[in-house]
Amino acid sequence: QVQLVESGGGLVQAGGSLRLSCAASGRTFSMYAMAWFRRAPEKEREFVACIRWSSGWTSYADSVKGRFTISRDNAKNTVYLQMNSLKPEDTAVYYCAATGQWYSDCSYSYEYDYWGQGTQVTVSS
């Protein structure tokens, strides 16, 4: 079993920056990938970014490319999402996810077995 604890959400102005953290604990030795998803009001959950744990390979949604960066700290079993140039449309609840299974892609929610509680990000205009 893996537990995910998120932090770093909050209220920021458009154009500002925010960094989200997700600390994993438990059976993390076989972790394959971790990801960030988000759910905006009245919309379905969407993929934001993911990272393969061993190789560091990353993937991003087109809407955040060039603005968001996903990274990992292996020693701390923690992933981060650095969000720059934030826009009001980035407002959503952001969820961290983890999986121990291998897939050719890491951008689909069905791949993930473990989820964090979610953290609110609000970007004001």
Cα distance between residue 86 and residue 3, in whole Å: 28
**Cβ(14)–Cβ(86) below 8 Å:** yes
pLDDT band at residue 102 using 50, 70 and 90 as cut-offs: confident
Q: Summarize pLDDT for 12-33 with one digit per residue, the tens.
A: 999 999 999 999 999 877 789 9
Asked whether residue 110 carries a pLDDT value surpassing 90, the answer given is yes
pLDDT at 1: 86
Q: Summarize pLDDT for 38-97 with one digit per residue, the tens.
A: 999 999 999 999 999 989 999 999 999 999 999 999 889 999 999 999 999 999 999 999
Asked whether residue 4 carries a pLDDT value surpassing 80, the answer given is yes
- HSE at residue 58, side-chain half, CA atoms within 13 A, is 18
Q: Summarize pLDDT for 61-74 with one digit per residue, the tens.
A: 999 999 999 999 98
pLDDT at 123: 98
Number of CB atoms found within 10 A of residue 82's CB? 15
Strand order in the sheet with 18-26: 2-7, 18-26, 78-83, 68-73
pLDDT at 113: 92
